[in-house]
Amino acid sequence: MNKSIQKQNNRMRRQKRIRAKISGTANRPRLSVFRSNRGLYAQVIDDKAGKTIVSAHTKEIKKGTLMDKAAELGKLIAKKASEQKIAKVVFDRAGFIYTGKIKAVADGARAGGLHF
């Protein structure tokens, strides 16, 4: 099997395992982070209603390296969530390893005022 396909399959298995344990509610929505080749996406999701409450992408941030943009993305999503009166979330790393850019988004969201 191709090495990149195997890595993707492993991430999908990790993601299923994580999503079996956590889900977002109206009181405590899920903060989902996705990493692509072009950037990072963050969404605050209410799984009970099946709705995305707020979302952000690194394209919205103009300056800095991708690591700087990741931390700013966390702060931006925290700001947008606080405008919707959301203070507590459940963090969903979507099968990605909690290091580097994913950790920077989480730390930025904590610095922005989100609790998880």
Q: What is the pLDDT of residue 51?
A: 93
Q: What is the pLDDT of residue 52?
A: 95
Task: For residue 78, give the CATH number of its domain.
Answer: 3.30.420.100
Q: What is the pLDDT of residue 26?
A: 85
Range of the domain at 64: 3-112
Q: What is the pLDDT of residue 23?
A: 87
State how beta strands 90-92 and 51-57 pair. unpaired
Q: What is the mean pLDDT of each run of 10 residues along the chain (116 residues)?
A: 89 92 90 94 94 95 94 96 95 93 96 94
What is the secondary structure of 40-99 as a DSSP string?
EEEEEEETTTTEEEEEEEGGG--SS-HHHHHHHHHHHHHHHHHHTT--B-EEE-TT--SS
- Count how many domains the chain has: 1
